[in-house]
Structure 1
Amino acid sequence: MTNAATEAPRTVAVSEALVRSRAAALIAKGGDARVLVMRAQPRWNGGDLTIDGQRVRVIEGISQLAILDAYAQQTDDEYLVVLTDRPRADLNDTVLVRAYGQRIEEPDEWGSVPALFGGAREVSRDLRKLDWAATALLDHQPAGGWAPSTDLAVTAEPAIGGLLAHLINLGSTDLDGVVLLAALSDGSRSSWASVDPELQDHLVEWAEEQYGTAAGFALRTTAKPGGLVKPLALGLAIDVLWPSPAGDLTEDQIAARTRLLERYVGGRSITPLQAREIADASVSAVLRLSRENDPEGRLGVVLDQAEALLRDNLGWPAGAERSAILRPGFTARLRRLGAALDSGTDVEEALVGVLDHRESTLAGQDLAPRMAVRLSRWLATTEVTMHSLGADLQRQLDDGAWVDAALGVIWNGSSDSEVGAAYGRLIERVRARRRGRDEIAAAHLGDTVAMRSLAELLDGPALGIENILRTVVDPWKAHGGVLLVVLDGMSGATAIDLAGEVGRSGLVEWVPSASKHRLAAVAALPSMTETSRTSLFCGEIRIGNSSTEKSGLAATFPGAKVFHKGELRAPGGAQLADGVASAIADPAIPVVGVVINAIDDAAHKNDTSARTWTMGDLEPLRALLNAASIAGRVVVLTSDHGHVVERSTEMLPAVSGGDSRWRPASSGPAREGEVLVDGSRVAIDAGQVVMLWRDDARYGAARGGYHGGASLAELTVPVLVYQRSLAQDAPEGWLPAPPQAPTWWNDPIIETTAREVAAAPVKKTRKRPDVHRESPSLFELETEPAPPPPSDNLVDQVLASTVAEDQLKLAGRAASKSLVEAVLRALIERGGRAHRDTVASAADMPYTAIGQRLAVVKRVLNVEGYDILSFDSDGETLRLDVDLLKEQFEVR
């Protein structure tokens, strides 16, 4: 029978990390003890250690004799760690007298853990429950140590989270399923795969409990031997295999699910709830990488793998077309949008689907779909016939120019042939309607130009280009002087591109208070640079050149200066030529004119069919605006004519003495698509020309763009006026501009309550004859005023309530009943939801004051903090909760 007193106690193998930890503690204590005897299996392959600059020799103490022999060989400058499984009875006092504490130290790995986390003194219960954790923390301690504990006790989440982050080479310990899916789809994959499988299992189980199913999925699928498919790619496949909402499953979809579970998840089952957690985390990881511009370049491989996985490995290629992340899904959604554009139904819903896809968030990918839908909305509006050229021109600037801008974006809108064909059909419908407007405007131009005055001809807020100096520049020059920038060839569509950017530069746009819209001027005829630009600078219809322009402006405003192409070249290191900068800064110069030719030059030489313009394309425009703002000058930004872009135009025979868009009247009578004009506004010597109003035709060779014709895009000259934001004074009849976009630009076309009013029965009554009329009719039909629509009644009730009265008082002097009323009516008429610019325009809010005034309205309406009026997640769309409005304001 074996004597229990001499039986070797049960021992375990100790890790190098534990030996290092205990040896380091011995060294740190100082004193005479230089030997540490530990109860452990006497096995060591680690060789000698160097700890804190001290040499530490580790020996296998298989017997008392072996230990004493090691003592004999120990030098004065080294420490000794003895690993022995011998019972206390086998070791005499000679062995233990030199040991630290004169005892055999039991290997307590947990006792070494607090020292690994600076500031900690103990280990929490939740960490001790993980019986594998102490060894792992000791074995894998990084060179710089673990992050210091913020508590006295080391807890599981920071400790094991830090361990996991270290093993997968993550700099941050802020882990979750999204972070792990992204990290393990990149360089961390190989680091994790090299971790001991037993420790992997422990960490997977812990991470699944701590961070959720997605975290465990990421770790488990990456640890799978020979697994090459990234966990993010698997997650994106799961997103379409277990969609939300589930819907009806196809046989191919069910079969693909089974294959994925068998091949990539080790046959483990996944509940629908777990599948959605994995899918949602995967989608979030992809979107996060997209927002961060994919710094590691991992997304391309992930997306390709997911597509290939669904197509080749799982046998369900249709799955990729259902994805809100994968490229085939974007194409499928664009095709649905194309079909909706053709049918004219469910267009808005189709656009929502496109914009919900990840690809739409990439640079420029959402522009063509948005513009296509805007054009579809425009086609759904009622076309009103105009009765004067002035009304034609103003509508072009207020509405048609926005159509032209959208048209330019979708001209080269899609690389997919099916989507491109749908865009092409939309373009033809739009251009047909636009040509109808051009034809009517040309008729107005040809019928009246020779016989009536300009005022009669225009019959509206538009003005002749020769009157811009008198009507706009002259009244504004008293407010700090004027910088008149003429962007040669700028059409209304180009002005739209620039206006927003100019406004964001710190300048405030002003418009006539009578119309609250930008001014439209009509070019001199034909709409060429030598006629229109000269007429602009001279203040009368003339033909000339740059010298004529200089003398013409100086004659109107003594001391004024004009700078053309070569005079704008700045010296090295400067943005503006010295002469230009000095003139703008000189208060003695009332008007500084600058001509920038970039647009006109590009239209003659380059393909501009799908081009948009920025200030960066029009140097030195940005520097000019900055200089004007510093000098306190008003900026008048205008053009001399617009232009039409080369978009598959028909070539007509060139005519001597004419140009691409006009010909002398002597060359023949006006034909289809042309108009004959004569009179004082025709600047050429003959005083009579034939001009093309069709935008799809030209005389002679093709160029990038054309001008000189009678289309509204060529005739309409936009006039934009800006002041620096701190300036508050203006000539009489001007006010800060409200948003200028037409309603269809930002909001769907909806049927309002006016439909119900129109459907109300008409009551016919006899009307008494008007004794003051010469020939009164015996009977006339009169329509009694229709009852106000429900929206009007609701607004009236809200504003008449005591709650509204109290809220208006609480909101302060900035709150007015008329402002709240205008916002409420605008939103209720649009079903409780509208773009903020639509609401601001309806309420006559200056663009620069929209945020402030809407905040005031929110203070009035949001009783007790309830979100009656709020913004959607896009930060631009206002939403009115009508039911909550009724409840809080105690109305029916």
Structure 2
Amino acid sequence: MVAKARGSDGRRKGGVIGLRAVPEVAAAATLTDKGQRIDVVPCVSALAVRDALREHRDADWLVILTDRDESDLGPGILAHFVWQQLRNPDPWDAVKQRFDATALDRALLSEGHRAELAYGLLKIAPEEGWPAAPAGVLSRDHALGSVASQQLGMPLHSMDAFAVLAWASRAGSAATIADLRRDAGDALAEAVLRWLAGRLGEGQRPMLRLLTGGQPEQALPLGVVLHILVSAKVDGAGDRRQAELALARLEHRWSGTSVSATELQAFGATCHGVVRDMLARSESWRAGYTALGTADRIFTEAGADALARDSYLLPSSLTQCYRELAQAMGGPLQNVEAAWDSVGKHPLNTPALDGTADPRLQPFEAAVRLERWLASDDDSEEDLASLVRRQSAVDSWVDAAVNTAAQGTDDAALARAIEKTVVKAQERRTAHDRQFARCLAAATDLSGSSLGNSDNGAVWLIEDIVPKVAAKLAQQHPTLLLVLDGMSTGVATQVVRSILARPDGWAEIIAQGTSQRACGLAVLPTLTEHSRTSLLSGKLVSGSQPQEQAGFAAVAKAAGLAGARLFHKKPLDSSRPGFLLSDDIAAAIADTSELPLVACVLNSIDDALDRSDPAGISWTDEAVRHLRPLLASALAAGRAVMLTADHGHVVERRAGTQRAAADISSARSRPAVGPASEDEVLVAGTRVLDHGGRAILAVDEGLRYGPLKAGYHGGGSPAEVVVPLIVIAPEATMSDSGELAGWKLAPPQEPLWWALASNERLPQSVLVGTRGKKKRDEGPDLFSELEETIPPAPGGTPSSVGQRVVTSAAYVAQRKLAGRISLDDVQVRSILDAAASAVGTRLPLASAAIALRVPPTRLSGAVAQLQKLLNVEGYAVVRVDGGMLVLDVVLLREQFGVAG
């Protein structure tokens, strides 16, 4: 009323307002508005009014509350009032003023309990007023939405079904409704709840029943349950009776409200859509998952667990997917892949959205990878160099998968399936280990720069790594050599993947003329005092840190390096408070001119063999102490980084045996007394630096001679003997052609079975698996996929589609027409077979890089060459669709004449 009396221009600075009201003494008050004083004075008579007028100051406002008629007051008193009359107070005028509105929408006034509604809006109005009404008209949506925003914490400008159900699913939503009733009154609270329920359209009445009944958090899970039950009832797919019984058992949740089946169906469909939307957003994923967990419990209450498991949405249905995967494991690979595809497509299988993952995901992912590997051809190699390369390029990934899968799950039925797969993989790995040990025993007198430089990768003797690889690289480019004591090739796959996955700017490089990482062969027995000293000294020798320091300095001097520094554990652990690296180490890495080669020994992995669980640790760059700050310093200095180890290790799985032996040199090595058993190997020669040059080494993972520990080394298994040799460089130091002083960007090093589901039985170097029907992608599909069968090649020998294409006359002719193409036939065959066996013949580009064996940064150029070679006359045999490489198999066969 004071604001209205001031006028729109605010000219009137003070005055008297008379209001018809009960003049209770308690109504007296002194207020302040816009820096002016407002005295509210109750007056029971005309005399009291005159007395109030006499005390009034012109610069202030006086509001007189009286129940006297205007005739009692007389014209003399009325002349002092603004408007010269008594006014009837209208709360809606105050409401309009609080919303900066000039008019009211009829829909707002039709809510009922008009006065209570207005008083409620005034009672909880913010001190600065409500948000201004658009265009000056206070609508129902704006008024009630403003209340919901302020009192319930909902978004003001996006009050849709998603916002309402997301708010309702929060913990404490019922308490906020109770607070709204207390602060604003029942009339306004009921109006707000009706308005919120109206956001759900036809499903508003079930929603309103839950809101007014104090159960808002049940809305989303109950709606999901209703959607599944109503769908089952309507579809009538054998579940109608169960759905009807479940709906009857849930009727008490909306009893007292006349709710039709159509409204329940609409409510359920809305909730189902909202929860799917929540699962697609990182900020709401956890709330959606919690609601689905509650929905599972409601299904149990309604006795309809089977319908929940078939929903392909609830947590119980994800569990069912895992159970089907467990049942498929050990059978045909195509069945395993189909079940794994269902797990991968489940809406709840999205760990990246909230930073957590289903604990079953990683063990089963590893188990599926092992199933693919077990379905691949087991190449038979007989020379030591090939077996060393197999450990580095293939079996190291198998070891990593075994470690992850062996961690298992708390569900006994699922755990048994994983166990069977792991046992099969271990049996095959045991055969590989024994084959490796036999070749190792025959080659312990090896000497020379390497065991073999092949197109795949070099195999170096460990004593040659520093003088002939690290020092040679440092001669042309500043290098940081990191020796991760005890790092097996399997652990190396995890460490390097974590480094390259970060956006820090590292790229893996390999020697020109090779396609795989290099690796090394440790000294025997595979103990630190032998292998690490030989590694750092550049010659076969045993010793400790002083010998390593002297030997390393001698190697650097012989290589003509300006200087070199070697840091062991003590200086790495000794740094100033707040600093991740000591000043000496940081300064040495930064000094690339005086110290072209710096080496550091990191002991985290070897220490874990004594004190923790090396198999249960996720070996990332963060898990290895000091590794991240060392890499950061090297990146800043522009150094290449070489990661290697002195030996690997095997882990203790509580399934092995201890065999008594005298004078053991380690838990895995003993003197050559008596014959070697089938799980041992006798080695003798210049590379055996213990037991007088003759020793018996444990080969099988479960054999030990010493007390129980978390892991062991010293034996003759490839996991202990083969050491990784991985080089990474800052991308900024690479030339435009991706080269660095005799090195080139490395293609992805994962085997294809690690990254891609395959239904094609091919050699291990290309693909794994057996041909089967392709599973159709979920979602709308205008055309059914054609089921293709590859006929056998002449003579009954199975032939892949890629092999048939690259040996066809049309392909040979097309290759001549295409001109200069750097892709060879092996790469073309590999990518064709990988894409042909992928689900929907759609291959993720990351997997395409693995199949083509090209660095991801070069993939676009490789795909362009592939299209030039295969897209005859512009027909799109190969195309890129988003993040997928798509192969038209039917068109491929027509173009190259290999149709069955």
TM-score by length of 2: 0.78
When structure 1 is superposed on structure 2, of 828-837 and 371-380 the one drifting more is 828-837
1:485 matched to which residue of 2?
482
Shift of the 787–634 alpha-carbon distance from structure 1 to 2, 3 Å rule, reads closer
Shift of the 210–532 alpha-carbon distance from structure 1 to 2, 3 Å rule, reads same
Shift of the 819–164 alpha-carbon distance from structure 1 to 2, 3 Å rule, reads farther
Letter in 1 for 2:269: R
Structure 1 residue 698 displacement after superposition: 1.4
Secondary structure of 1:520's counterpart equals: strand
Rounded Cα–Cα distance in structure 1 between residues aligned with 2:808 and 2:97: 73
Shift of the 739–25 alpha-carbon distance from structure 1 to 2, 3 Å rule, reads farther
1:773 matched to which residue of 2?
none
8 Å contact kept, 2:376–2:761: no
Q: 1:274 aligns with which of 257, 267, 274?
A: 267
8 Å contact kept, 1:628–1:635: yes
8 Å contact kept, 2:239–2:307: no
Shift of the 609–249 alpha-carbon distance from structure 1 to 2, 3 Å rule, reads same
2:131 matched to which residue of 1?
147
Q: 2:442 aligns with which of 436, 447, 454?
A: 447
Structure 1 residue 206 displacement after superposition: 3.7
Deviations 1:399-428 (A, max 9, x none): 211121122122222112222222111211
Letter in 2 for 1:34: V
1:582 aligns with 2:587: yes
1:550 aligns with 2:553: no
Rounded Cα–Cα distance in structure 2 between residues aligned with 1:856 and 1:392: 34
Letter in 2 for 1:649: G
Rounded Cα–Cα distance in structure 1 between residues aligned with 2:102 and 2:863: 56
TM-score by length of 1: 0.79
2:535 matched to which residue of 1?
536
Rounded Cα–Cα distance in structure 1 between residues aligned with 2:41 and 2:411: 71
Structure 1 residue 517 displacement after superposition: 1.5
Rounded Cα–Cα distance in structure 2 between residues aligned with 1:166 and 1:45: 33
Rounded Cα–Cα distance in structure 1 between residues aligned with 2:806 and 2:91: 77
Letter in 2 for 1:570: S
Structure 1 residue 728 displacement after superposition: 1.8
Q: Structure 2 matches for 1:768-783, cutoff 5 A?
A: none
Structure 1 residue 212 displacement after superposition: 3.8
Rounded Cα–Cα distance in structure 1 between residues aligned with 2:692 and 2:71: 129
Shift of the 46–269 alpha-carbon distance from structure 1 to 2, 3 Å rule, reads farther
Structure 1 residue 821 displacement after superposition: 11
8 Å contact kept, 2:17–2:62: yes
Structure 1 residue 374 displacement after superposition: 1.8
Rounded Cα–Cα distance in structure 1 between residues aligned with 2:522 and 2:406: 27
Letter in 2 for 1:405: A
1:566 aligns with 2:559: no
Rounded Cα–Cα distance in structure 1 between residues aligned with 2:420 and 2:585: 48
Rounded Cα–Cα distance in structure 2 between residues aligned with 1:839 and 1:563: 41
Letter in 2 for 1:369: F
Rounded Cα–Cα distance in structure 1 between residues aligned with 2:615 and 2:826: 45
Letter in 1 for 2:267: Q
Shift of the 885–182 alpha-carbon distance from structure 1 to 2, 3 Å rule, reads farther
1:253 matched to which residue of 2?
243
2:465 matched to which residue of 1?
468
Rounded Cα–Cα distance in structure 2 between residues aligned with 1:840 and 1:750: 19
Secondary structure of 2:575's counterpart equals: coil
Q: 1:673 aligns with which of 675, 679, 697?
A: 679
Q: 1:334 aligns with which of 322, 326, 347?
A: 322
2:785 matched to which residue of 1?
none
1:662 matched to which residue of 2?
669
8 Å contact kept, 2:99–2:133: yes
Rounded Cα–Cα distance in structure 2 between residues aligned with 1:788 and 1:728: 38
Secondary structure of 1:701's counterpart equals: coil
Rounded Cα–Cα distance in structure 2 between residues aligned with 1:163 and 1:151: 19
1:30 matched to which residue of 2?
12
1:386 matched to which residue of 2?
381
Letter in 1 for 2:62: Y
1:624 matched to which residue of 2?
630
Rounded Cα–Cα distance in structure 1 between residues aligned with 2:16 and 2:694: 113
Q: Structure 2 matches for 1:227-238, cutoff 5 A?
A: 227=215, 230-238=218-226
Deviations 1:724-770 (A, max 9, x none): 22102555542111221111111101228998897356389xxxxxx
Secondary structure of 1:691's counterpart equals: strand
1:192 aligns with 2:177: yes
Rounded Cα–Cα distance in structure 2 between residues aligned with 1:139 and 1:628: 66
1:80 aligns with 2:59: no
8 Å contact kept, 1:238–1:279: no
1:9 matched to which residue of 2?
none
1:416 matched to which residue of 2?
411
Secondary structure of 1:557's counterpart equals: helix
Q: 1:870 aligns with which of 870, 881, 889?
A: 881
Deviations 1:309-328 (A, max 9, x none): 3334x344555545667654
Q: Structure 2 matches for 1:806-885, cutoff 5 A?
A: 827=835, 830=838, 831-848=840-857, 869-871=880-882, 878-880=884-886, 882=888
Q: Structure 2 matches for 1:682-697, cutoff 5 A?
A: 682-684=688-690, 686-697=692-703
Q: 2:97 aligns with which of 78, 96, 115?
A: 115
1:751 aligns with 2:760: yes
Rounded Cα–Cα distance in structure 2 between residues aligned with 1:380 and 1:826: 15
1:5 matched to which residue of 2?
none
Shift of the 242–450 alpha-carbon distance from structure 1 to 2, 3 Å rule, reads farther
Q: 1:762 aligns with which of 794, 810, 818?
A: 794
Letter in 2 for 1:492: T
Letter in 2 for 1:223: T
Shift of the 340–829 alpha-carbon distance from structure 1 to 2, 3 Å rule, reads closer
Structure 1 residue 883 displacement after superposition: 9.9
Q: Structure 2 matches for 1:9-28, cutoff 5 A?
A: none
8 Å contact kept, 2:511–2:743: yes
Rounded Cα–Cα distance in structure 2 between residues aligned with 1:797 and 1:104: 104
Secondary structure of 1:555's counterpart equals: helix
8 Å contact kept, 1:23–1:81: no
1:698 aligns with 2:695: no
Letter in 2 for 1:642: G
Secondary structure of 1:658's counterpart equals: coil
8 Å contact kept, 1:487–1:595: yes
Secondary structure of 1:346's counterpart equals: helix
Shift of the 694–842 alpha-carbon distance from structure 1 to 2, 3 Å rule, reads same
Rounded Cα–Cα distance in structure 1 between residues aligned with 2:452 and 2:330: 39
Rounded Cα–Cα distance in structure 1 between residues aligned with 2:46 and 2:826: 100
Q: Which runs of 5+ in 2 are unaligned?
A: 558-562, 772-787
Rounded Cα–Cα distance in structure 1 between residues aligned with 2:238 and 2:809: 45
Rounded Cα–Cα distance in structure 1 between residues aligned with 2:330 and 2:812: 42
Structure 1 residue 699 displacement after superposition: 1.5
Structure 1 residue 842 displacement after superposition: 3.4
RMSD across aligned positions (CA): 4.8
Letter in 2 for 1:664: P
When structure 1 is superposed on structure 2, of 25-34 and 602-611 the one drifting more is 25-34
Rounded Cα–Cα distance in structure 1 between residues aligned with 2:620 and 2:294: 38
Q: Structure 2 matches for 1:396-435, cutoff 5 A?
A: 396-435=391-430
Q: Structure 2 matches for 1:41-80, cutoff 5 A?
A: 47-48=27-28, 50=31, 52=33, 54-55=37-38, 57=40, 68=46, 71-72=49-50, 74-75=52-53, 76=56, 79-80=62-63
Letter in 1 for 2:521: V
Structure 1 residue 37 displacement after superposition: 4.9
Structure 1 residue 477 displacement after superposition: 1.0
Letter in 2 for 1:262: H
1:164 matched to which residue of 2?
148
Rounded Cα–Cα distance in structure 1 between residues aligned with 2:24 and 2:806: 89
1:495 aligns with 2:492: yes
8 Å contact kept, 1:168–1:189: no
Rounded Cα–Cα distance in structure 1 between residues aligned with 2:587 and 2:639: 13
8 Å contact kept, 2:510–2:518: yes
1:614 matched to which residue of 2?
620
Rounded Cα–Cα distance in structure 2 between residues aligned with 1:884 and 1:121: 70
